[in-house]
Amino acid sequence: GQPHFSAHSPGRRAFGSNKSYMHLMPLAPALTQSTPQRTAVIGGGIAGLACARRLQQLGHEAVCFDTGKHAPGGRCSSRTWPGGATVDHAAQYATARSASFSALMKELETEGLVKQWPARVVALEGGAAAVPVEGDAVRYVGADGMGGIAAALARGLDVRQDVWVPPNGGITYESDGMWRLRLPSGAGDDCRFDAVVIAHNGKCAERLTSSVPARDVHSLLRTRFAASLPGGGREGGGVFTLNSVYSLAFEAPAGVMPSDFDAAEVRGGPLRWLANNAAKYAPADGGGEVWTALSTGAFGKAHKVPQEQLAGTEAEAEVTAKLLRAVEAAVGLEPEALKPLRTRLQLWGAALPLCRWDDPYVWDAEHRIGIAGDWCAASAEHAATVEGAFLSGEALANHLAATPAQPAGLSLGADGGRFVPIEGAFGGAPGQPSWVQPAEAGGGRGGGRGGGGRGGG
């Protein structure tokens, strides 16, 4: 399974050149009078960037709002370590199985913005000998970190960086059918939009849509946090579920960590993934190797604290120590043999989806609001992947431009869509596909349904 996952005043930012990738994508049909012309994309991860980019290619104005302080990308991000090393602390690589994403990766590879990572991946369990993991998937990484993929997608886009659209009352559907965003000072006064795309998830997305008339959109964004899915599905009990994962980056002196693999799927204990960033990028000055260790969802849940309350606390020291001991056990080192030169701990509180909505995107045609994300996937192979996020955002943009009067992916109830368990490496568990109660049946506030159609790819 693929592991899925960097200050200034808020404001506009257009990233890089305006180079078009129109030759990589099929053209949508001609725009119609009913087509929204100005779209707010809330969330600057891969899904949001792909959606905004495709809309712009099709002649629309798209504004992307991202909470990241330094750059867009969400979980597809990287940071610079002291000494200059590049560290991927969330998404570890991307695979490309679809024609569209494969074409993008090859184009960016030609430009020198991404590269293939011929990683030696093994399975580790309890200090036993490493077992090579077979597979023919081509792994791509940014030329200087996974954040480079997001930066490439953001080129030429209107990205409002470090902008928080308030979860309570941040978007309002007005009487004339337009959407109004309540933006912080400095983020721009042009706050009315024809359409809104929700390209992030978790409790913020749930709260953001809690008072809008698109009640079924809100029903799909209701979020549960857990390390695994319930063993049995309850009829009408489908709920989007996310886990929490700790990411520990640590710099080990040269020669301490094994040299016979680049990355490992760890089985048993609190770790799930371990990778040597020096196998992807230039090592840190001084010769140390910076490794990334990702925890299981169960460990993340057991030790979860608010990220903003983590730095400098006893919880940070405790979690760091536990994960370092787990690394030692996994690679066969003696306890406390690993004495890192420095560490950096981060909790991804809304890390990976444990279930997928079985449509690639959602579109409420009545209210002109949609959803895109790595958890919207008609096929299992794209769920919870960088590629899946890209395909979801791109597909929603194509639908919005071509057939905005047609609802998609919003069929709820017993005869509608399902939340399907993801058999993933980071906490996916066997379960039953579960349908979602429509807002009327669930007693939701407000009126209006987005329509009952189901979207295609």
Q: 340 with 381: CB under 8 angstroms?
A: no
Q: Is the dihedral angle over the CA atoms 179, 47, 426, 424 positive or is it negative?
A: positive
Amino acid of residue 380: A
Can you give the residue range of the structural domain that contains 335?
A: 38-435
- Ranked by mean pLDDT, the top range of 7-11, 163-167, 383-387 is 383-387
Percentage above 70 pLDDT, the chain:
85
- What's residue 325's pLDDT? 97
- What's residue 312's pLDDT? 92
The predicted-structure confidence for 236-288, as pLDDT tens digits, reads as follows: 789 999 999 999 999 999 999 999 999 999 998 999 999 999 999 988 787 79
Element (H, E) at 340: none
Q: Let me know if residue 9 belongs to a domain.
A: no
- What's residue 1's pLDDT? 42
Q: 151 with 16: CB under 8 angstroms?
A: yes
- What's residue 186's pLDDT? 62
- Residue with more model confidence, 202 or 4: 202
Alpha-carbon dihedral 203, 74, 361, 386, rounded to 10 degrees: -130
Task: For residue 84, give the CATH number of its domain.
Answer: 3.50.50.60
Q: Which residues contact 144 (CB under 8 A, 6 or more apart)?
A: 78, 86, 281
Return left, alpha or beta for 440; rule: phi > 0 is left, psi -120 to 50 is alpha, else beta. Answer: alpha
Q: Let me know if residue 347 belongs to a domain.
A: yes
If you average pLDDT over residues 412-433, what whole number do you get? 81
- What's residue 81's pLDDT? 95
- What's residue 427's pLDDT? 56
Q: How confident is the model at residue 73 (pLDDT cuts 50, 70, 90)?
A: very high
Answer yes or no: is pLDDT of 447 > 80: no
- What's residue 335's pLDDT? 95
Q: List, edge to edge, every strand of the sheet that includes 94-95.
A: 94-95, 139-142, 114-116
Closest CA to 335 of 347, 345, 327, 346: 327
Q: How confident is the model at residue 13 (pLDDT cuts 50, 70, 90)?
A: very low
Rounded CA-CA distance 374/393 in Å is 9
Burial of 9 (0-12, 13-18, 19+ CB in 10 A): exposed
- What's residue 11's pLDDT? 41
Q: Let me know if residue 345 belongs to a domain.
A: yes
Q: Let me know if residue 274 belongs to a domain.
A: yes
Q: 399 with 430: CB under 8 angstroms?
A: no
Q: How many CB atoms lie within 10 A of CB 120?
A: 15
Q: Let me know if residue 15 belongs to a domain.
A: no
Return mean pLDDT, the chain.
87
Q: Let me know if residue 279 belongs to a domain.
A: yes
Amino acid of residue 295: S
If you average pLDDT over residues 428-442, what whole number do you get? 74
Answer yes or no: is pLDDT of 26 > 50: no
Closest CA to 200 of 393, 408, 432: 393
User: What total of structural domains would you count in the chain?
Assistant: 1
How do 158-161 and 61-65 pair as beta strands?
parallel
Q: How far is CA 55 from the centre of its chain?
A: 20
Report pTM.
0.88
Distance between first and last Cα of the chain: 23
Rounded CA-CA distance 116/94 in Å is 9
Structure tokens at 394: 């791109």
Q: Which residues contact 176 (CB under 8 A, 6 or more apart)?
A: none
Answer yes or no: is pLDDT of 306 > 70: yes
Q: Let me know if residue 22 belongs to a domain.
A: no
What sections of 93-202 are H helices per DSSP? 99-110, 147-154
Strand-pairing partners, residue 291, are 250, 276
Cα-flanking dihedrals φ and ψ of residue 99, to 5°?
A: -65, -40
The predicted-structure confidence for 154-204, as pLDDT tens digits, reads as follows: 999 999 999 999 999 999 999 999 999 998 776 666 799 999 999 998 899
- What's residue 2's pLDDT? 42
The CB-side HSE value for 250 (13 A sphere, CA atoms) comes to 23
Answer yes or no: is pLDDT of 233 > 80: no
Q: Let me know if residue 452 belongs to a domain.
A: no
Angle at 100 between CA 94 and CA 105, to 5 degrees: 45
